[in-house]
Amino acid sequence: MAGRIIAFSGRFAVLPEKPFTDVVVHLIHGDADGVIAVDHARAAAQRFQTLGTLFTLDVAPGQGHGIDERMLNHVLTHLRHDNSLAS
C-alpha cells in the first residue's frame, strides 16, 4: 500500500470524518486557482489537523489551476526527505 497521497489542486466533496492512518497526505495548491479555490485545501488541512492525520499543505503563490515546477519540486522534496512523517 502507498505510504503517501499527493493531491494537486483538488478538494473533497465532503471533508473526512475519520483520520487517514498509515499514510501521509500532501496537499499542493495554487493560491490563484480560479477553478477550485485554495480555501478547500486549507479547510482539508484544518480537518486533518483536528483528526490527527499526518499531512502537509504547500501553497504556490500566483499559481492557477495547474501544476508548475515549484509544485513538482514540493513533491520531490516530500518524497525524498519527509521519512519522519511516514514512519
Cα 38 to Cα 54: distance, rounded to the nearest angstrom: 19
Q: What predicted TM-score, i.e. pTM, was given to this entire model?
A: 0.87
Dihedrals phi, psi of 81, to nearest 5 degrees: -125, -5
The model's pLDDT over 33-79, given as tens digits with 9 standing for 90+, comes to 999 999 999 999 999 999 999 999 999 999 999 999 999 998 998 88
Cα 40 to Cα 29: distance, rounded to the nearest angstrom: 9
Dihedrals phi, psi of 26, to nearest 5 degrees: -110, 115
